[in-house]
Structure 1
Amino acid sequence: MVTQEEFINDMVIRHGFNELYLTQLLRKAKVKSKIIKLMTPRKKGKGRPWYKYRNIFVNNQKIKGGVKFWRNNARALQEAEKFFGVPAEIIVSIIGVETIYGKNTGGFRVLDALVTLSFHYLRRADYFRGELENYLILTRDERIDPLRQKGSYAGAMGIGQFMPSSFRDYAIDFDGDGKRDIWTNNIDAIGSVANYFKQHGWKTGEPIIAATKIRTNAIKKMLALDFEPKYTLQQLKQWGLLYYGKEPNYTNGMVIDLKTKLGTAYWLGFQNYYVITRYNHSKHYAMAVYQLAQEIKNAK
């Protein structure tokens, strides 16, 4: 594993940091055993089924909170939808799922989390050292105190929970005040989420997901296909997909299975569903975002 000294030397050589500054800064970071515990994967077993996962994110509290957030930030959401082509309800839903509309952005110092995971968590140390590198660069570039920012135990930050690399790549100054503030500025957070989706391939006006069925003898084959929507609807139908709606001939799809109380439901996810999974690589997460978005839109 790379040592802190080696990391500091690399930052000095590649990014021009002051060696003494970084040495003193990293000494102030506190290694948190709780973070290691939270990051350690649970023993393999049956994961939470979709219908239980759904209840965590698609509920009256989050729907009402989403309607309120939309009303309070209507202009920024309208401008983001117009400029980036991402529906306002999707932006609102992401922020609701991630931080309950900015109410829970995390209680760990970002520096503590990233130092802990970079040098004391072998399983993903390389990844988190990259995020620590990006965090140090962004705090320097944005003139932010690296000791003050708080976030999740994994180092995700702000209203939309961006990792440092995502901040550098996708966070924007949407209100034009000269700062990219995703911690306290809803306008910047809204614009940054919309920009993230746009840059990951969101297709304006195209569908996200549709209910479908699969022939019994084709279920295993269909679910074994790649998660990325690289297959045409015609191909999927030839392999056993039963799709009764109007055929969208402009987009590819992928098959998603979700456990309900009554059995298994099958869905056809399109490019925009895939884009949601780029925010969090989980079919449950993407479906929760989609369904919460629809509930908020209907209740608005």
Structure 2
Amino acid sequence: MLRISVILLLFALPGYAHQLPDTIPGDYINRPEVKAFIKKLVAEQGFERDFLEALFYPVRQNEKILAKVNAPAEGISWQRYRKIFITPERIRAGVAFWQQHDSLINSISRQYGIAPEYLVAIAGVETYYGRHTGSYPVLQSLTTLAFDFPKRGRFYKKELVEFLLLCREERLSPLKLHGSYAGAMGIPQFIASSYRFYAVDQDGDKVRNLWQVADALGSIANYFKQHGWQSGMPVAIKAQTTGGGHLSMADTVARKPRYTLAQLQAAGVRPQGEFKADKVVLVQMNGKTTPEYWIGSRNFYVITRYNHSPKYALAVHQLAQAIRAKRTTP
């Protein structure tokens, strides 16, 4: 009986009326914790039990996802990490992307108060300007991580709920969406909760489509604005240090700015150029021989709300600056 229900219910999903679903039971439908998860969704979110059982029936664990989530790029050194994103090819592609969408990017920049090069750089770091948005079925990714990645299982269970709510609200097929191994979607690689709360319909077609350039860039800008981006404020600058007074002030993780420039200067830290911000953070990047220090503003912290790694934020900053420089000086 369940086999028949699976076929009928999956045929009813948007875009699947002409596709025969896999009706062989997967790795999750019979697990007690998944049954409890479904029961909770029915009780708290009003989903139909038959629909959820049909949806999870064929889902299988993906070992590649578990391997990738245990070895994220942020775990490598800053030098290796930087070489992934700050390349002549990616910079040129960023300039071309900006030129192609110049009017749109400048309009979004003015609307939200976000420097245009950072909108371009986020798209460049995340998906190479939309070229690589991910090939993993989002439902499989989130289910695998929710139930077979104990370290962050609670987080991914929450995102799985958000994903199902997103699909219901936006009338999307949960079987059709693909993204990163961690379930991030579209050009800006939003996780489901970010998609629900920060994605915008920039082009006015009544659909928030993160695989479409206007909606993607507008959503990046909205995300930054909602997290406190300050228009006109610089993001980061390399610092020189003397003595050891700065050591207790340096962070290797993302923290809110809490020092003044005067406090850093008193501890032997000097920005390598003009830099104006009310509160700053001192970030330590591990160099090949000696640490590399950067001063970050509130806007640097905002970028770490997109991805909590300071390496990520600095890569976005450096790519943004390189794209702007290349664009103004071919």
Residue 26 of structure 1: which of 35, 56, 61 is its match? 56
Structure 1 residue 240 corresponds to structure 2 residue 268: yes
Structure 1 residue 123 corresponds to structure 2 residue 151: yes
Please list, as runs of the form range in 1=range in 2, the aligned pairs for 1:154-165 lying within 5 A after superposition. Answer: 154-165=182-193
Counterparts of 1:231 and 1:170, CA distance in 2: 29
Q: Which amino acid in the other structure matches residue 36 of structure 1? A: L
Moved more, 219-228 or 15-24: 219-228
Cα deviation, 1:134-153, whole Å, max 9, x if unaligned, reads 00000011001100100011
Q: Which residue of structure 1 aligns with residue 35 of structure 2?
A: 5
Counterparts of 2:183 and 2:158, CA distance in 1: 12
Q: Which amino acid in the other structure matches residue 146 of structure 2? A: S
Q: Which residue of structure 1 aligns with residue 217 of structure 2?
A: 190
Q: Are the equivalent residues in 2 in contact too, given 1:256–1:268 (CA < 8 A)? A: yes
State the 1:211 CA deviation. Answer: 2.3
Q: Which amino acid in the other structure matches residue 40 of structure 1? A: N
Q: Are the equivalent residues in 1 in contact too, given 2:246–2:264 (CA < 8 A)? A: no
SS at match of 2:295: strand
Instruction: Tell me: CA distance 1:9–1:47, structure 2 relative to 1, closer, same or farther (3 Å).
Output: closer
Q: Which residue of structure 2 aligns with residue 284 of structure 1?
A: 311
Q: Which residue of structure 1 aligns with residue 93 of structure 2?
A: 65
Please list, as runs of the form range in 1=range in 2, the aligned pairs for 1:203-282 lying within 5 A after superposition. Answer: 203-223=230-250, 227-243=255-271, 245-246=273-274, 248=276, 250-261=277-288, 263-282=290-309
Contiguous gaps of at least 5 residues in structure 2: 1-30
Q: Are the equivalent residues in 1 in contact too, given 2:251–2:283 (CA < 8 A)? A: no
Q: Are the equivalent residues in 2 in contact too, given 1:222–1:240 (CA < 8 A)? A: no
Instruction: Tell me: CA distance 1:68–1:144, structure 2 relative to 1, closer, same or farther (3 Å).
Output: same
Moved more, 71-80 or 102-111: 71-80
Q: Are the equivalent residues in 2 in contact too, given 1:94–1:160 (CA < 8 A)? A: yes
State the 1:12 CA deviation. Answer: 1.2
Q: Which amino acid in the other structure matches residue 31 of structure 1? A: Q
Structure 1 residue 169 corresponds to structure 2 residue 197: yes
Instruction: Tell me: CA distance 1:2–1:211, structure 2 relative to 1, closer, same or farther (3 Å).
Output: farther
Q: Which residue of structure 2 aligns with residue 140 of structure 1?
A: 168
Instruction: Tell me: CA distance 1:123–1:202, structure 2 relative to 1, closer, same or farther (3 Å).
Output: same
Counterparts of 2:166 and 2:75, CA distance in 1: 36
Q: Which residue of structure 2 aligns with residue 96 of structure 1?
A: 124
Cα deviation, 1:75-97, whole Å, max 9, x if unaligned, reads 22111100111111101001110
Q: Which amino acid in the other structure matches residue 35 of structure 1? A: I
**TM-score normalised according to structure 2 size:** 0.84
Q: Which amino acid in the other structure matches residue 264 of structure 1? A: P
Structure 1 residue 48 corresponds to structure 2 residue 76: yes
Q: Which amino acid in the other structure matches residue 30 of structure 1? A: R
SS at match of 1:210: strand
Identity %: 40
Q: Which amino acid in the other structure matches residue 10 of structure 1? A: K
SS at match of 2:282: strand
State the 1:247 CA deviation. Answer: 6.1
State the 1:200 CA deviation. Answer: 0.8
Q: Are the equivalent residues in 2 in contact too, given 1:213–1:241 (CA < 8 A)? A: yes
Q: Are the equivalent residues in 1 in contact too, given 2:239–2:294 (CA < 8 A)? A: yes
Counterparts of 1:58 and 1:247, CA distance in 2: 23
State the 1:287 CA deviation. Answer: 1.0
Higher relative contact order (Cα pairs below 8 Å, separated by 6+ residues): 1
Contiguous gaps of at least 5 residues in structure 1: none
Q: Which residue of structure 2 aligns with residue 35 of structure 1?
A: 65
Q: Which amino acid in the other structure matches residue 276 of structure 1? A: I
Cα deviation, 1:165-200, whole Å, max 9, x if unaligned, reads 0001100000000000002x1000000011111111
Cα deviation, 1:212-249, whole Å, max 9, x if unaligned, reads 2223222421225982202222233333323475563x
Counterparts of 1:171 and 1:22, CA distance in 2: 25
State the 1:51 CA deviation. Answer: 2.5
